[in-house]
Amino acid sequence: MKIALIIENSQAAKSDIVYDALKSVAEPLGNEVFHYGMYGPEDDASLTYVMNGLLAGILLNSKAADFVVTGCGTGMGSMLACNTMPGVVCGLVMDPTEAFLFGQINDGNAISMPYAKGFGWAAELNLQDCYRKLFEVERGVGYPKERAAIMAKNRNIFKDMKAAATNDMVTVLKNVDQDLLKAAIAGERFQEYFFENAQDEAIVDYIKSVLAA
């Protein structure tokens, strides 16, 4: 599985802590982690929580990533921004139990975490435990197990409802503020990672046209 990490500007100083915790859990399980930034508070490309959501939508809909890990000060803003995107189901995860239940019940493709609120002593251990509860087990199995069938049915109903309520990703990219879009894809590793992994030609072509403009 390809996991994309996205950090916004207010928490960029913690980028290495989050990245190291994610890699230490995800990569031994056979996953690849792609850090799309920010890498530090002085990065030329500065990501807001709104851009986090837009970038998550691009990566997941193009299949450049299978799962997105993002966040901000409280985690709330990035979660909301991600959930405005078609095909993105993002949960707010603060502790390992929430990570486990989100994976088992909602089986989404993104999480947002708080990197300021409650981020104190041994915060990296909490991050690692959250990632383990997400990636060490099969997601979507259901909890409690006796409700697994109804949970799977509700997930499909939710996906259909979201698809009906949102535009396709290319339409989103054309309709959003183009300066916002350019800023969201301006990270120093974006082009390298995105064009290497993206599978949706229409999204790739539009991103290329924005970068060339």
Note whether 61 and 85 are within 8 A (CB). Answer: yes
pTM: 0.96
pLDDT number for residue 97:
97
pLDDT number for residue 165:
95
Q: What is the pLDDT along the chain (213 residues), one digit of tens a residue?
A: 999 999 999 999 999 999 999 999 999 999 999 999 999 999 999 999 999 999 999 999 999 999 999 999 999 999 999 999 999 999 999 999 999 999 999 999 999 999 999 999 999 999 999 999 999 999 999 999 899 999 999 999 999 999 999 999 999 999 999 999 999 999 999 999 999 999 999 999 999 999 998
Domain that includes residue 38, residue range: 2-212
Structural domains counted in the chain? 1
pLDDT number for residue 186:
97
3-state SS class at 146: helix
CATH at 22? 3.40.1400.10
Question: How big is the chain, counted in residues?
Answer: 213
For 166-208, what is the HEC assignment? CCCHHHHHHHCCHHHHHHHCCCCCHHHHHHHHCCCHHHHHHHH
CA distance 17 to 159: 33
| Strand order across the beta sheet in which 90-92 lies | 32-35, 2-5, 67-72, 110-114, 90-92
pLDDT number for residue 39:
97
